[in-house]
Amino acid sequence: MTSSRSTAAVVSDPRVCTACPLLCDDVVVTATGVTQACDAGVAAFEASDMEVGTTSLVDGAAMLREAAIDRAAAMITTARQVLVTGLADASLEAITTACDLAEAVGAAIDAGGSEMSQASGPTIARAGEVTAEWEELRDRADLVIFWFCDPAATHPRFIERFVAPPTAAGIPRHTIAIGTEPVLPASPTHRHVALPIAAAVDAARLIEALTTGIGGGPLCICDEAVVSGAKAVAAAIVTAGCVAIVTRRGADPLGLGPWSTARLVRAIAHTKPAFEIPLAGGIDDGANLAGAAAVSTWRYGAAGAIAQAARGGGAFLPAECDAIRLIDRNEVDCVVAVGRLPPAIEAAIARRTAALGLVRVAPADPMRTDAARPTIHLGCRSLLASRSGTLLRGDGRRVVLGPDSAADSDSMTAILAALLAGVQARLAARGGGT
């Protein structure tokens, strides 16, 4: 998409869009508009043009940043239990500093990834999963199966960038959408197998049985639509040279769906090149959910739902200590929100009636009101405006926006570092901290 643009701040080199986990690095911003970006990306660039300063607010009233940081440090250190969340709209450097802050006060930490609210967490699905970078799909897969997901809704340019181009060898690519959404218009190279999400596990088990010849038992327990759909998909897999199955993690309370597709991919991979492309997060969840999960895993051994952050590890309690449950169950009385929050976490905060203090370290958002609770907003520059820091694309590829300079006092990292120093000073003053 191309937008018209009236800003005086014009940069013409390719830019990285940080509006979703695709982190498109081919966006061109000129005096006349933003080209290459999707509608959401254009809107993000236009919003970054409108960023005006990094005002700090305490209960809606402007306050000098140093004083606001001191008030925030007081709120955090006097809380009974703190939750550090958000994180997916922050650089790796900012996330790391947020982890230091969480450890200083023994906070719970969770970025809000959907797998953390599943009873199995990512454990069942990740056991032996076979995945690949998105470019491998683009270059190698002659069969792409959209498995009960529609990337256009969550990762707007995924199909344009990684599915629409020809394979590296020029082999024609076929696609199948299995699920409720057709994903692409019907064509000689695209087929829609319409099935409800409730049939996903049965379909995966059936296709596995049909393509491997092992475990035919499930054939007798499925209805006809599932059987015929599974047969069509299995037939396409048998004739393909390289198979990519694009999945969407989330919306499965137990995690059996991810387990069944990981198993299916592993079974196919025994006979031909095959891999899963799990699309975690999305346009509502922040650009760096993969980075938040990675930092949490490096520090605490799990991607989120950490009951108490500690350098030696942290208790991993999926579906128990995910951000939404902690807020809903009144188990935290202070939330440190780092960057934009996913809508589900904002909704959990909004429906919380018991006392809850809120410290936001985020760019200003004129659409949001925090009038219902004590709130300290430490304004910082967005990733798009600052162009600094390192992110992980949804498939784990490292993307460097620019050096994360401590000299930029308006950066999220610098403000988190100042908040950490304030917290440590208060803890030291009362003899209980580092």
Backbone CA torsion sign across 405, 411, 413, 418: positive
- Please say whether the beta carbons of 371 and 108 come within 8 A: no
Query: Which of 35/81 has CB closer to ligand SF4?
Result: 35
Given 15, 140, 157, 205, the residue binding ligand SF4 (CB under 6 A): 157
Residue 256 phi/psi, 5-degree rounding, is -70, -30
138 is a site residue for ligand SF4 (CB under 6 A): no
Tokens found for residue 118: 């599943």
Binding track over 240-269 against ligand SF4, x by CB under 6 A: ------------------------------
Nearer Cβ to ligand SF4, position 157 or 191? 157
> Stretches 15-23, 229-237, 322-330, 378-386: which one binds ligand SF4 (CB under 6 A)?
15-23
Angle ∠(298,302,306) on CA atoms, nearest 5: 110
Number of residues that bind ligand SF4 (CB under 6 A): 13
| Closest residue to ligand SF4 in the complex (CB) | 41
Half-sphere exposure (Cβ direction) of 247: Cα atoms closer than 13 Å = 29
Residues 19-48 that bind ligand SF4 (CB under 6 A): 19-20, 22-24, 27, 37-38, 40-41
DSSP 35-46: ES--HHHHHHHH
CB 277 to ligand SF4: min, Å: 15
**Of 24 and 144, which has the nearer Cβ to ligand SF4?**
24
Minimal distance, residue 244 CB to ligand SF4, in Å:
18
* Beta strand residue intervals within 155-194, DSSP E: 174-179, 190-194
d(CA 257, CA 237): 19
Please choose, from the candidates 307, 309, 201, the residue with its C-alpha nearest in 3D space to the C-alpha of residue 258: 201
In the complex, minimum distance from the CB of residue 133 to ligand SF4, in angstroms, rounded to a whole number? 16
Strand partners, 176: 145, 191
Beta carbon nearer to ligand SF4, 255 or 282:
282
Report in angstroms how near the CB of residue 65 gets to ligand SF4 at its nearest.
Answer: 30
Residue 303 buriedness (CB in 10 A; 0-12 / 13-18 / 19+): buried
Largest pairwise CA distance in the chain: 71
Return the range that interacts with ligand SF4 (CB under 6 A); candidates 18-26, 59-67, 219-227, 416-424.
Answer: 18-26
User: Which residues within the stretch 340-359 sit at the binding site for ligand SF4 (CB under 6 A)?
Assistant: none
**C-beta of 151 vs 422, nearer to ligand SF4:** 151
Instruction: Output 20 or 94, the one with its CB closest to ligand SF4.
Output: 20
Least Cβ distance, residue 156 to ligand SF4 (angstroms): 4
Please report how close the Cβ of residue 134 comes to ligand SF4 at its closest, in angstroms: 12
Which one among 112, 121, 122, 156 touches ligand SF4, defined by CB under 6 A? 156
Closer Cβ to ligand SF4, 37 or 306, answer by number: 37
Question: Cα Rg for the chain, rounded, in angstroms?
Answer: 23
Q: How far is CA 200 from CA 178, 179, 205, 230, 296, in A?
A: 9, 8, 9, 10, 30
CB of 370 to ligand SF4, least distance (A): 26
Three-class DSSP category at 74: helix
Main-chain phi, psi angles of 248, to 5 degrees: -125, 115
Q: How far is the CB of 257 from ligand SF4 (least distance, A)?
A: 24
Q: In what order do the strands lie in the sheet with 27-30?
A: 14-15, 27-30, 33-35
Nearer to ligand SF4, 37 or 380 (CB): 37
Round to whole Å and give the CA distance between 37 and 25: 9
In contact, 354 and 376? CB cutoff 8 Å: no
Task: Compare residues 160 and 333 and give the one whose CB is closer to ligand SF4.
Answer: 160
Shortest Å, Cβ 380 to ligand SF4: 20
Least Å from the CB of residue 141 to ligand SF4: 20
- Residues near 392 by Cβ (< 8 Å), separated by ≥ 6? 92, 288, 290, 291, 294, 398, 399
Residue numbers at the binding site for ligand SF4 (CB under 6 A)? 17, 19-20, 22-24, 27, 37-38, 40-41, 156-157
